[in-house]
Amino acid sequence: MRKRFLVNVEGRVQGVGFRPTVYRYAVEHGLSGFVKNVSTGVSIEVEGDEKSIKDFLCYLKYNPPEQARIAKFNDEEILVKNERGFEIIQSQHSEDLAAGMPPDLAVCERCRSELFAPDNRRFKYPFINCTNCGPRFTIIQDLPYDRERTSMSSFKMCSVCSSEYNDPMNRRFDAQPNACPDCGPVLNLIDSSGNPVSGNPLSVCVQLILDGNIVAVKGLGGYHLCCSATNDNVIRKLRDRKKRPHKALAVMFESIGEIIDNCEINETEKHELLSYARPIVVLSRKDASNVSKLVSPDTNDIGAFLPYTPLHYILLSQTEPLVMTSGNMAEEPIVCDEADLKNVLSSIADYALVHNRPILRRCDDSVLRIVETKRLFYRRSRGFVPDPVKLGLEGPSVLACGGELKNTFSVTRGKLAFISQHIGDLDDYRSFMFFRKSVDDLLNLLEIDPEIIAFDMHPGYWSTKYALESGVSKKVPVQHHHAHIVSCMAENGVENTVIGVAMDGSGYGDDGTVWGGEFLIADTSQYRRAAHFKQYPLPGNDEGIFHPLRMAFSVIVSEFGSNADLLNSNVFSSISYLDREVLLEMIEKGIRSPLTSSAGRLFDAVSAILGFSGRISYEGQAAICLQNIAKAGVNENYSYSYDDKGAAAVVSFASMFKEIFEDIFSGIEKSCIAAKFHNTIAAAITDVCVNIRNTEEINKVVLSGGVFQNDLLLKLTVNCLNSKGFTVYSHSIVPPNDGGIALGQAVVALAKSRYK
Ligand code: ZN
Ligand code: ZN
Ligand code: FE
């Protein structure tokens, strides 16, 4: 008997070839009806004999397009319409499409095999793509996502490409960036003065890289600086020119096999590396690896990733592993256009491999680590943006401006929060321009007119100034660590009151001091500071952060006085007599030495005591070095004290510092001391949580803040809390660092609007 069904599918089902797949399956099952995009996903009506409909539904459910993620699949019987044929209905309403703007997708297997098939018309064509793969987010000018609103609009498809594009049975049906050597973008190689280099751009480029040159290579969301990862000299040159002496550089490998040769890797990591997002995954280096140690001088890790554009595949098939790092100076935004390329070319790169498909939206590579089996993001960007995060509450649209460092911002619509790509450090003027442009861009694209603007309480943040000057009248300041905790609650779907543990570098406290080792009793709309780490003066304020040894000096002076013997130990011998006098005066009189409870500074101080005596060259360097030396299998910890007489309890580490020095003087290995320190922080966090639970009866603990990028501390803390029966939540969707706080700000603003 003839029947008709209405089917609604939710999830990532737009811009990923869902409609043509439905079309093909429907035609194959002899069904009539239509498929169209709607605001919630895809809506299908199918009509035919009952068995065919059931087969069709089952087939679709279990064989969706590769890129689709089905979150909900509903079907119900409706009245028969007796129409003929099956149709793909084009969307008109941009509102229907906004939710479906997909991230950039790595080359799919079928395109990759065509790329290396000599008889294929796209053999070694570096812009091959199909409905299942290729650029999206970085080439979209406007929605709905159609070729004329992408940076492919200036390329007119040849007749062969255009027949692929228009044939619903073809795997390039509706593939907006579809192109071939006859009609699509082309490569060019230029030298550092911008002059074209003769010869085949790809083969010449390969030779230049093998010869030890640095080449700027145009990628999906910006330029990479690219050089051999096995050649110490060129890496030294790159670090020198980029003014990045120590911070890790990512390495692109040709295949999983090559990664296995160089790194320890488990199944989850393998899966992550091969995913369409192709993030950089931080892995442990194998001793046998021939990758230069200079890619990551501070750790035994390698940030590894696989090719994600056809161009990468072609390059890597002819070279050794390659360093692929963002094409920019230090903390400036990644270069994505020809004007900025000039700066990189004159100062860092020897050559540039360019092409004529414009990048409309910058997007850096994403970086993460797998901890147990969960993602721990350091940077959430390409491949994940603009996939929204689903919230447990909804309300008016919010624009949340994020923090100052590692900025991302967020906009909400209904129950969805869209988090921007990585913007960078806003104290850099170019990054702030990029921030402003990206806010306008995302609001336009999603057609959102925010009613509320949320921002950090720090009066000096550029994101705060932006919010205060913006035309959005309803302004909601959010405390930094409350935002951290709520970001983690939001991604875990937690709404009730929790113990929020924010272990952070720094954030503006509601008492005007610098916070960063915080225990908040929090829900999504409010918080109370239940406990915190003891505050110490940070001599030199923001500049002081660059000098871990000065922080160590400050802690010792604060705990044991300016005449303490410890100050005369070898640990502080690199501080000159003059500097010492200045430091003492600053600390004792509180000159440019704000008090901070920062957990990050505590890691810095201990790292300095164990030998990190210089200036850090990137955020978190001293702590990373400390984690790197911490030995496995050490179970002891140092002592600490807990004082709960005041309004908020205070955890003090005076006895820990005393014991650390005793260990140093008695010749205990630094690796052992570093391990005991990590254990101490995990134990102290757990003790504080137990104390809070005793009075507040809260059993849920939420962990956030930049210090939890330290996977050793994270694992120790989770284990310790679990052993005391706590339910523990940590991050896996946004980073624990300030790249995650925009999500928290947005949710706090929504929650507050609900209670008013
Ligand atoms: Zn493909
Ligand atoms: Zn063509
Ligand atoms: Fe923070």
The span from the CA of 500 to the CA of 734, in Å, is 16
CA 272–ligand 3 middle distance (angstroms) = 26
Tokens of 303: 């940030």
Burial of 198 (C-beta count, 10 Å sphere; 0-12/13-18/19+): exposed
pLDDT at 332: 82
Residue 222's nearest CA partner among 367, 348, 380, 337 is 337
- Kindly identify the ligand whose nearest atom is closest to the C-alpha of 108: 1
CA 182–ligand 2 middle distance (angstroms) = 5
pLDDT at 519: 98
Whether the per-residue pLDDT at 182 is higher than 70: the answer is: yes
The span from the CA of 190 to the CA of 184, in Å, is 20
- Kindly identify the ligand whose nearest atom is closest to the C-alpha of 128: 1
pLDDT at 99: 56
Place of tokens 């523990």: 728
Alpha carbon 472 to chain centroid, angstroms: 28
pLDDT at 756: 63
**pLDDT band at residue 144, thresholds of 50, 70 and 90?**
confident
Residue 43: DSSP 8-state: E
The span from the CA of 502 to the CA of 484, in Å, is 7
50-70 pLDDT tens trace: 999 999 999 999 999 888 888
- Kindly identify the ligand whose nearest atom is closest to the C-alpha of 157: 2
Residue 265 CB neighbours (<10 A): 19
CA 202–ligand 1 middle distance (angstroms) = 21
CA 101–ligand 1 middle distance (angstroms) = 18
Kindly state the average pLDDT of the residues 585-595: 94
CA 103–ligand 1 middle distance (angstroms) = 14
80, 148, 430 from 336: Cα distances, Å: 53, 21, 13
Kindly state the average pLDDT of the residues 594-604: 97
Give residues whose Cβ lies within 5 Å of ion ligand 2. Answer: 158, 161, 180, 182-183
Whether the per-residue pLDDT at 92 is higher than 80: the answer is: no
Beta bridge partners of 650: 532, 643
Whether the per-residue pLDDT at 598 is higher than 90: the answer is: yes
Residue predicted with more confidence, 664 or 394: 664
Kindly state the average pLDDT of the residues 224-235: 98
CA 172–ligand 1 middle distance (angstroms) = 8
**pLDDT band at residue 339, thresholds of 50, 70 and 90?**
confident
82, 143, 265, 619, 714 from 607: Cα distances, Å: 75, 50, 28, 14, 18
- Kindly identify the ligand whose nearest atom is closest to the C-alpha of 516: 3
The span from the CA of 255 to the CA of 260, in Å, is 9
CA 413–ligand 3 middle distance (angstroms) = 25
**Ramachandran area for residue 80 (φ above 0: left; ψ -120 to 50: alpha; else beta):** beta
Do 702 and 727 meet the contact criterion of CB atoms below 8 Å apart?
no
CA 303–ligand 3 middle distance (angstroms) = 23
Place of tokens 């199944």: 267
Helices 741-754, 480-492: inter-axial angle, 10-degree rounding: 90
pLDDT at 525: 96
Amino acid at position 688, single letter: V
Whether the per-residue pLDDT at 82 is higher than 60: the answer is: yes
How would you write 270-313 as a 3-class SS string? HHHHHCCCCCEEEEEECCCCCCCHHHCCCCCEEEEECCCCHHHH
- Kindly identify the ligand whose nearest atom is closest to the C-alpha of 110: 1
Beta bridge partners of 371: 374
Find the helix or strand (DSSP H, E) in which 263 lies.
Answer: strand 263-264
- Kindly identify the ligand whose nearest atom is closest to the C-alpha of 162: 2
With a pLDDT cut of 70, the percent of the chain lying above it is: 98
Whether the per-residue pLDDT at 94 is higher than 80: the answer is: no
The span from the CA of 603 to the CA of 378, in Å, is 18
Do 366 and 381 meet the contact criterion of CB atoms below 8 Å apart?
yes
- Kindly identify the ligand whose nearest atom is closest to the C-alpha of 112: 1
The span from the CA of 186 to the CA of 590, in Å, is 61
Amino acid at position 552, single letter: A
How would you write 123-191 as a 3-class SS string? CCCCCCCECCEECCCCCECCCCCCHHHECCCCCCCCHHHHHHHHCCCCCCCCCCCCCCCCCCCCEEEEE
CA 426–ligand 3 middle distance (angstroms) = 14
Kindly state the average pLDDT of the residues 174-187: 96
Residue 211's nearest CA partner among 351, 354, 353 is 351
CA 166–ligand 2 middle distance (angstroms) = 13
CA 461–ligand 1 middle distance (angstroms) = 42
CA 714–ligand 1 middle distance (angstroms) = 38
432-441 pLDDT tens trace: 999 999 999 9
What does pTM read for this prediction? 0.94
pLDDT at 520: 98
pLDDT at 343: 86
680-733 pLDDT tens trace: 999 999 999 999 999 999 999 999 999 999 999 999 999 999 999 999 999 999
CB-based contacts of 20: which residues, under 8 Å, 6+ apart? 88, 131, 168, 173, 174
The span from the CA of 637 to the CA of 645, in Å, is 25
The span from the CA of 417 to the CA of 410, in Å, is 6
CA 343–ligand 3 middle distance (angstroms) = 32
**pLDDT band at residue 744, thresholds of 50, 70 and 90?**
very high
CA 736–ligand 3 middle distance (angstroms) = 8
CA 111–ligand 1 middle distance (angstroms) = 4
Tokens of 286: 């194998």
522-548 pLDDT tens trace: 999 999 999 999 999 999 998 999 999
Mean pLDDT of the chain: 94
CA 115–ligand 1 middle distance (angstroms) = 10
Do 353 and 344 meet the contact criterion of CB atoms below 8 Å apart?
no
Kindly state the average pLDDT of the residues 564-570: 95
CA 68–ligand 1 middle distance (angstroms) = 14
Secondary structure of residue 427 in the 3-state scheme: coil
Do 638 and 655 meet the contact criterion of CB atoms below 8 Å apart?
yes
- Kindly identify the ligand whose nearest atom is closest to the C-alpha of 484: 3
CA 707–ligand 3 middle distance (angstroms) = 9
CA 334–ligand 1 middle distance (angstroms) = 26
Angle (CA) 72-700-402 rounded to 5° is: 70
Do 304 and 259 meet the contact criterion of CB atoms below 8 Å apart?
yes
Residue 330 CB neighbours (<10 A): 12
4-38 pLDDT tens trace: 999 999 888 877 888 889 999 999 999 999 998 88
Phi, psi for 296 (deg, rounded to 5): -155, 75
Whether the per-residue pLDDT at 96 is higher than 90: the answer is: no
Whether the per-residue pLDDT at 565 is higher than 90: the answer is: yes
Whether the per-residue pLDDT at 95 is higher than 80: the answer is: no
Kindly state the average pLDDT of the residues 534-563: 95
Residues in the chain: 756
Residue 357's nearest CA partner among 103, 136, 151, 125 is 151
Amino acid at position 82, single letter: N
pLDDT at 15: 76
Residue 166 CB neighbours (<10 A): 12
265, 271, 277, 307, 351 from 227: Cα distances, Å: 24, 26, 23, 15, 11
**pLDDT band at residue 143, thresholds of 50, 70 and 90?**
confident
The span from the CA of 308 to the CA of 244, in Å, is 25
Residue 25's nearest CA partner among 168, 152, 172, 229 is 168
pLDDT at 306: 98
The span from the CA of 330 to the CA of 333, in Å, is 9
Secondary structure of residue 368 in the 3-state scheme: strand
173, 541, 591 from 10: Cα distances, Å: 22, 49, 58
pLDDT at 13: 84
Domains and CATH numbers, the chain: 2-96 (3.30.70.100), 187-367 (3.90.870.40), 381-495+737-753 (3.30.420.360), 531-729 (3.30.420.40)
**pLDDT band at residue 336, thresholds of 50, 70 and 90?**
confident
